[in-house]
């Protein structure tokens, strides 16, 4: 057992956990944030994607004790009060989900992607960079549309802010 403190969505969370506890278990079972999903046991589906110290990772393949002292953002940490994050809003408008199971991971991966590319994205890049996220409903078409729309808005907002 180890005492682990991880700052999740800005709030430090300290728990006594077994060393074998995965980050996703820490988030879901110990902290009770169940927006982060588990869809596979092969590190392939991306449903568990969160941001660990600012980059998208699969939280099913990180030990919680190895993330001691780190900052994590989950899907619950994106919206500001009642206002959806622009990427969440774009998924809503473009119907970028069917059953919704992969959606938290898709959104966390997309937020990371848009940030890394400063919103400058084309369809081929979006499809390529979503390789680590699987949608069993095969709803990729609208997911890609949503990401491109959110990226464009991100770029425009930054261009406006720079002026």
Partner 1 sequence: MYATTYHRPKTIAEAVALYEGSEDASYLSGGHTLIPALKNRLAAPQHLIDVRAIPELSGIAVTADRVVIGAATRHAAVAACEDVKAAIPALCGLAGSIGDVQVRHMGTIGGSTANNDPAADYPSAVLSLDAVVHTDRRVLAADDFFQGLYTTALAPGEILVRIEFRIPEIAGYAKFRNPASRYSMAAAFVSRHRDGKVRVAITGAGNGGVFRWSEAEERLADDLTPAALDGLALDPSLMMGDMHAPADYRAHLVAVMSRRAVENLGRTYIL
Ligand X SMILES: Cc1cc2nc3c(=O)[nH]c(=O)nc-3n(C[C@H](O)[C@H](O)[C@H](O)COP(=O)(O)OP(=O)(O)OC[C@H]3O[C@@H](n4cnc5c(N)ncnc54)[C@H](O)[C@@H]3O)c2cc1C
What is the distance between the alpha carbons of residues 28 and 34, in angstroms, rounded to a whole number?
Answer: 5
Using CB under 6 A as the criterion, what x/- string covers residues 25-64 for binding ligand X? ------------------xx--------------------
Query: 85: which DSSP letter?
Result: P
CA atoms within 13 A on the CB side of 157: 11
Q: Which range binds partner 1 by CB under 8 A, 26-34, 80-88, 108-116, 139-147? A: 108-116
CB of 59 to ligand FES, least distance (A): 7
CA atoms within 13 A on the CB side of 152: 9
Question: Residue 47 binds which one of partner 1, ligand FES, ligand X, none, with CB within 5 to 8 A depending on kind?
Answer: ligand FES
| Nearer to ligand FES (CB atom), residue 126 or residue 134 | 134
CB of 20 to ligand FES, least distance (A): 16
| Nearer to partner 1 (CB atom), residue 22 or residue 97 | 22
Nearest to 146 by CA among 98, 110, 109: 110
CB of 12 to ligand FES, least distance (A): 24
> Is residue 6 close enough to count as binding partner 1 by CB under 8 A?
no
- Cα maximum dimension of the chain: 52
Mark residue 133 as left, alpha or beta (left: phi above 0; alpha: psi -120 to 50; beta: remaining). Answer: beta
């Amino acid at each position: 057992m180890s005492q682990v403190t991880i700052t999740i969505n800005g709030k430090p969370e300290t728990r006594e956990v077994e060393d074998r506890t995965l980050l996703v278990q820490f988030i879901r079972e110990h902290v009770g944030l169940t927006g982060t999903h588990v869809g596979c046991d092969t590190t392939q589906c991306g449903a568990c994607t969160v941001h660990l110290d600012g980059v998208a990772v699969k939280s099913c393949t990180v030990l919680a004790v190895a993330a001691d002292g780190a900052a994590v953002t989950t899907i619950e940490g994106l919206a500001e009060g009642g206002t959806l994050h622009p990427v969440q809003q774009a998924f809503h408008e473009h119907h970028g989900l069917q059953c919704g199971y992969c959606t938290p991971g898709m959104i966390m991966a997309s937020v990371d992607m848009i940030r890394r590319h400063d919103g400058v994205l084309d369809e081929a890049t979006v499809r390529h960079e979503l390789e680590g996220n699987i949608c069993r409903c095969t709803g990729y078409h609208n997911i890609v549309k949503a990401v491109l729309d959110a990226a464009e808005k991100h770029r425009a907002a930054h261009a406006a802010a720079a002026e």
